[in-house]
Amino acid sequence: MKRRMPLLKLETTAALSEDKRKDLLAALSHIVSATVGKPEKYVMVTVGHADMLMSGTDTDMAFVDIRSIGGLNLDVNGKLSRQICELLEESLGITPDRVYLNFTDIKAANWGWDGNTFG
């Protein structure tokens, strides 16, 4: 199995209760695992609050940064974009036009874990 080690980092202006944060973390982890094709034990998800402005307004919004060693491509990125936007709209009320997503394929030598790199 190829090393992918996906990371999803969500920054949002939406207020999150502790329960909502935990549910969101779990749902995002599952989406990444299922879509990128890597067991959840290799997936990391972070959710944080950020001060942001988009289109000149501060209506709730989100920025999603997804990084992986391989596994990202046009098809996968499209699926991730759709599923994450649907989840954010359903769970936080953030419409898809208020979500930016960034996808980055990382070289194995540039990803560290457990005192070493994957390269």
Answer for the pair 55, 31: CB distance below 8 angstroms, yes or no: no
Candidate CATH numbers 3.40.50.150, 3.30.70.420, 3.30.429.10, 2.60.40.10; the one for domain 7-114? 3.30.429.10
The two tokens of residue 16 are 């999150």
pTM of the model: 0.93
**pLDDT one-digit tens code per residue, 43-61:** 999 999 999 999 999 999 9
Q: Does residue 6 carry a catalytic annotation?
A: yes
Amino acid residing at 46 = T
- How far is it, in rounded angstroms, from Cα 39 to Cα 41? 5
The CA angle 33-99-55, to the nearest 5 degrees, is: 165
Catalytic residue (choose from 5, 6, 31, 68): 6
Q: Which tens digits make up the pLDDT trace of 80-104?
A: 999 999 999 999 999 999 999 999 9
Contact 103, 44 (CB under 8 A): no
Domain boundaries, the chain: 7-114
| Neighbour tally for 119: CB within 10 Å | 12
